[in-house]
Amino acid sequence: MSGDRDESILKWHSSEIYQVSDVEEAVALAERFKQEGRYNWFRGQVKPWPPLSSLARVQLKDAQWELTLTPKIERYNNFLQINRELEQIAADRDAFFAVAQHYGIPTSYIDFSTEPAIAGYFACDTEAPALGEESCIYCLNIEDLKEAWDTLRTLHPNAEVDFVQLSVPNLWRLESQHGVFLYVTPGNWEVWYEMDQIRFPYRGYPPYPPKEVIYPVNKSSLEILLDHFFMNERLIEGAEFMRQQSKEIGAPFIRFESPPDNYHPQCFKGGVIEVHPSWSDNNRQKWADVTVEHFHELPQREIKLQVDPEWSPEETLRRVEVAAAGAIRVHPRLRETLVNWRFGERALGAVSSKGNSALEQALSWLWDGMRRLPYTDAQVATAVGRCVELYRLGAPANDRTVNRKIADRAFGSSLYVEFGGAGSYSRAYASREALLRAMRDDLAGFVADEYVDILGDPEHIFHAIFSPQRLFDFDRLCAIFPEQILPWQVLTRTGSAAYFSPSRLSAFGLP
């Protein structure tokens, strides 16, 4: 593996290029090399560019990269610190950057995989294909690189290399990609060490693995929580864009601040409304999703629901709810299982050209978010049934008026609400009656005399207070989620943050 070792150490290893006809032959060759012990790490690239870290690429493009990246890293660290489930990641340097890397934050780490088939996928993963141009799989022997850097330090004491192989609890993306990381300095390390390459003409994705193996549809508790952080980052970027646009046209950029503790003191006697006792730490702690699960060890099951397209949406709710409850009873450990919910191609009278895939994805997300939390089996079944009913009614529609009519039919007179915490938010419809039922019994005793007219209408109440801890009884609020809020979220908030546990909320009110 090693090349000439003269004193200048101009190059320890020069690249050997293996030319093959397509990605399948490239993966097969890489697998053979792995079995022979020649290489143990692999990296796929659409083109044979120098294998730089994501941070090195940013540094080449943007001289002011620190102005945006440093605050983002600080916000990311703060997010890990304030969520107890993530403290372990914050305390582990490699885990900290592994999560960041897998979610697109530039780092000094370079992605590799121990599996040639995964590298083959990434060698073909592009939104701008150029048929016939060369893609490649880089092949690395980590022991040879370590030996090279031990020698390089005699001339360059600051040269570093680290081979990061770790398991981050509940980072299923890392597990599914058999991901490992190379940390190496200096940044232009390929000057001293060129990895061997397997090159082939790009002809599209390989037959295996599919995208859902690389990026699992199922989400762990960690990944659901990280959605909140990255949604907040998108909001920050959007606000900065608006600020810049306002600056360019000379218009003022106004940001409205919420009142302290998310309520208006003048609306309440003595200017204060205390946190309801049901939001005790002990009660909320039951809803902290801290279960560690390993993606490749989790059983998976497909459950196909037989649904007659002639059923009304209301009958669909009842019958699917009963069917889902039956599936949970028949398979006693189903909630420890990843479930793919399936329907016949036209079983629901699918409302989109994509068939029922949108509903199936929503149900997988719903199942992943609920199964580890202390919802009852009956509540989980209700949420599944309600999700299918809403889909049959046409949710999600692009028109707010249509969505309101769908919600009114399913829930009764409804209200569009927004809720969130830690900078991100989600939205859903809930019935006005259910919202009133969930509010604390002693609310009227806190409201100042001049504002008693707000009582009886949740829309008016939310103008005065949108602190869930001060407005709602915790258990009653939890009961609304599977019946109304969760099904609406997973159908309409695709790719965004969703709140499955009310314990994470710091605000609940109007959009």
Q: How buried is 178 (Cβ within 10 angstroms: 0-12 exposed, 13-18 middle, 19+ buried)? A: middle
Using CA atoms, how far apart are residues 18 and 199, in angstroms rounded to an integer? Answer: 6
pLDDT at 404: 96
Q: Cα angle at 406 between 405 and 411, to 5 degrees?
A: 100
pLDDT at 192: 86
Beta strands 300-304 and 338-342, pairing class: parallel
Closest CA to 334 of 370, 382, 291: 370
Q: What is the pTM of this model?
A: 0.83
pLDDT at 3: 40
511 residues of the chain, pLDDT tens digit each: 444 444 445 567 678 999 999 999 999 999 999 999 999 999 999 999 999 898 888 888 888 888 889 989 999 999 888 887 788 898 999 999 999 998 889 999 999 999 999 999 999 998 776 777 899 999 999 999 999 998 888 888 888 999 999 888 899 999 999 999 999 888 788 888 999 999 999 998 999 999 988 998 888 989 998 888 888 887 776 766 666 666 666 655 445 567 889 999 999 999 999 999 999 998 888 998 778 899 989 999 999 988 888 899 999 999 999 999 999 999 999 999 999 998 866 556 544 445 688 899 999 999 999 999 999 999 999 999 999 999 999 998 889 999 999 999 999 999 999 999 877 899 999 999 999 999 999 999 999 999 999 999 999 999 999 999 999 999 999 999 999 999 999 998 877 889 999 999 999 999 9
CA-to-CA separations, 24 to 16, 36, 44, 118, in angstroms, rounded: 19, 18, 13, 12
Q: Are 172 and 219 in contact (CB under 8 A)?
A: yes
Q: Cα angle at 191 between 193 and 136, to 5 degrees?
A: 65
Write 27-32 long-range contacts (CB < 8 A, 24+): 27/116, 27/117, 27/119, 27/120, 27/137, 27/206, 29/198, 30/116, 30/119, 30/120, 30/137, 30/139, 30/198, 31/116, 31/117
pLDDT at 188: 80
Using CA atoms, how far apart are residues 218 and 364, in angstroms rounded to an integer? Answer: 6
pLDDT at 152: 86
Q: What is the DSSP code (8-state) at residue 395?
A: P
What is the H or E stretch that residue 463 is in?
A: helix 458-464
